[in-house]
Homo-oligomer: A and B are copies of this chain.
Amino acid sequence: MAGRLNGKRIAILATDGVEQVELTRPRDAVTREGARTEIVSLSEGEIQAMNNDIEPSDTFTADTTAKQASAADYDALIMPGGTVNADRLRMDPDVVGFVQEIFRAGKPVGVICHGPWTLVEADLVRGRTLTSYPSLRTDIRNAGGTVVDEEVVTDHGLVSSRNPDDLPAFCAKIVEEFAEGAHKVHDEGATVG
């Protein structure tokens, strides 16, 4: 069966504290369409996923680190949330550099919940329209982004959602955007829905 993402290689950026369903469900959605995924993390070894931010859940094995990974090797990027996950990722200069390289190449990105903190750190929300978990909307606005409150928002290949309840819409939209491939990078507005 021909999947819409056959042959695509997709990075999932995650570390300890990642919200488990925000890793597994987007991963399953793109895998079902024929993509291969790799977890890009801060270090090699296991990462501890959480449910509802504070209940430890399963562990996952990192495939590579942001230091070793090259954005050129991936067709798209998934950035799950989890408060502690996002808080730790944004502090790593290799993570910030990796994400900046993905954006510079216009590759599609799906970001959910607390995931946009790394985009704030990397100065990548300026002039963009996105959504997020409510707690970091002030940080996104202060970094020059426009925040809307919709289940999924698409701005030239940047797909964003608010929380796990939005996962059905988020997963459908990232498959669609990842299938389209790289976008030209520009800032003329966003489509919501």
Interface string of A111-137 (1 = CB under 8 A from B): 000100100110000000000001110
- Determine if A84 is an interface residue (Cβ-Cβ < 8 Å): yes
Contacting residues, chain B, for A17 (C-beta < 8 A):
53-54, 83
B135:A91 contact, CB within 8 angstroms: yes
B88:A135 contact, CB within 8 angstroms: yes
Is chain A's interface secondary structure helix, strand, loop, or mixed overall?
A: helix
Shortest A49–chain B CB gap in Å is 10
Among A23-31, A63-71, A138-146, the stretch that binds chain B is A138-146
CB within 8 Å of B: which A35-54 residues: 48, 50, 53-54
Contacting residues, chain B, for A138 (C-beta < 8 A):
90, 120-121, 143
Interface string of A69-113 (1 = CB under 8 A from B): 000000000000001100110110000000000000000000000
Report Cα–Cα, A139/B121, bound state, in Å. 8
- The chain A residues found within 8 Å of chain B, CB to CB, are 16-17, 48, 50, 53-54, 56, 83-84, 87-88, 90-91, 114, 117, 120-121, 134-136, 138-139, 142-143
